[in-house]
């Protein structure tokens, strides 16, 4: 980001010293084009895929943590989550193969798919993974609430039996 700012500032300073309007317009056009590419880059399918992979890794970590902490007592729920993640992984692999085709052909071709089916499918996968993440976290919190309630009930029983023992003595 700093290099971009430095480059644009330097080019604008050089433009002020040139008296040729054509050179100014060419450099200005170049700067606008460069800024457009820089702004659009996060919307490329490959950038979206990277975000999807990060979200999937985070979700896998949450699922592993939940299983290690025994926060998902329902085997059916656990298997359903794993099935949903496997389906998303299959779709992700298919989408990744389509993105790799861009590297074999003209690299700028990927820019044509910013608003196409490929980007829409990647975004759909991201939403699905985020929903899976929410489902896992919700199930974990439900399990925690059950544990907290059990601990509270146990403490109430211990405290009430302790006060009964004191009254007897």
Distance CA 56, CA 88 (A): 9
Domain ranges of the chain: 1-41, 44-168
Distance CA 158, CA 73 (A): 26
Position 22 confidence tier, pLDDT thresholds 50, 70, 90? confident
Distance CA 7, CA 43 (A): 23
pLDDT of 164: 56
Q: What percent of the chain has pLDDT above 90?
A: 49
Tens digits of residue pLDDT in 97-114: 988 887 777 767 777 777
Q: How many residues make up the chain in this entry?
A: 169
pTM of the model: 0.71
Residue 28 has pLDDT above 90, yes or no: no
pLDDT of 27: 74
Distance CA 3, CA 5 (A): 5
């Amino acid at each position: 980001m700093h290099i971009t700012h430095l480059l644009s500032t330097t080019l604008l300073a050089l433009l002020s010293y040139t008296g040729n309007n054509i050179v100014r317009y060419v450099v200005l056009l170049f700067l606008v084009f460069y800024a457009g590419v820089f702004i659009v880059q996060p919307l490329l399918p490959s950038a979206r895929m990277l975000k999807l992979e990060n979200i999937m890794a985070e979700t896998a970590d949450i699922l592993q943590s939940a299983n290690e902490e025994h926060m998902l007592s329902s085997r059916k729920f656990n298997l359903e989550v794993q099935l949903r993640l496997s389906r998303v992984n299959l779709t992700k692999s298919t989408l990744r193969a389509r993105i790799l085709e861009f590297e074999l052909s003209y690299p700028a071709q990927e820019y044509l798919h910013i608003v196409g089916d490929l980007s829409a499918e990647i975004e759909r996968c991201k939403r699905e993974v985020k929903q899976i993440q929410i489902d896992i976290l919700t199930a974990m919190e439900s399990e925690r609430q059950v544990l907290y309630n059990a601990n509270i009930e146990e403490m109430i029983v211990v405290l009430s039996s302790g006060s009964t023992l004191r009254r007897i003595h």
